[in-house]
């Protein structure tokens, strides 16, 4: 049973560029959440996708956008990159289903983004 996978593992971009990160959820999961983790900090919630819609959003600017596909995989897009966007980006999946939410989130290995 494959867990949460993310690609790429590492990425180096220049200020002002755009980046797309990808996530495949754990088999059977239908909800994907994205988190940003700066060095030495805990993960910060960016947004969550369920049924191909953004359901909740953290305190991140509109430069951060996302998408969920019919197969539940997800993308995180960041436009006009800033040096401060350098971080580990974590994807987490969970199963929500029709009866509500389940609370355990399973995390992928993350994508390390460096903006120069």
Contacting residues toward other proteins, per CB under 8 A: 4, 33, 35, 37, 39-45, 48, 50, 55-56, 58-59, 88, 90, 92, 94, 96, 100-101, 103-110, 112
Q: Which residue number, 55 or 80, has a Cβ lying nearer to other proteins?
A: 55
Q: Of the candidates 26, 67, 27, which has an alpha carbon nearest to the alpha carbon of residue 46? A: 67
- C-alpha to C-alpha distance for 116 and 109, rounded to whole angstroms: 22
Number of alpha carbons in the 13 Å side-chain half-sphere of residue 5: 7
Number of alpha carbons in the 13 Å side-chain half-sphere of residue 42: 1
CB of residue 53 to other proteins, shortest distance in Å = 11
Q: Which residue number, 24 or 48, has a Cβ lying nearer to other proteins?
A: 48
CB of residue 54 to other proteins, shortest distance in Å = 10
């Amino acid at each position: 049973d494959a867990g949460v996978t993310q690609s790429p593992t590492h990425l180096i971009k220049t200020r002002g560029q755009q980046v797309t990160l990808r996530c495949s959820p754990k088999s059977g999961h239908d909800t994907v959440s994205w988190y940003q983790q700066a060095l030495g900090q805990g993960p910060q919630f960016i947004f969550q996708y369920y049924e191909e819609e953004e359901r909740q959003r953290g305190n991140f600017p509109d430069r951060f956008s996302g998408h969920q596909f019919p197969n539940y995989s997800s993308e995180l897009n960041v436009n006009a990159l800033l040096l401060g966007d350098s971080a580990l980006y974590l994807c987490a999946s969970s199963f929500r289903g029709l009866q509500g939410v389940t609370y355990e989130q399973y995390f992928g290995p993350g994508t390390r983004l460096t903006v120069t």
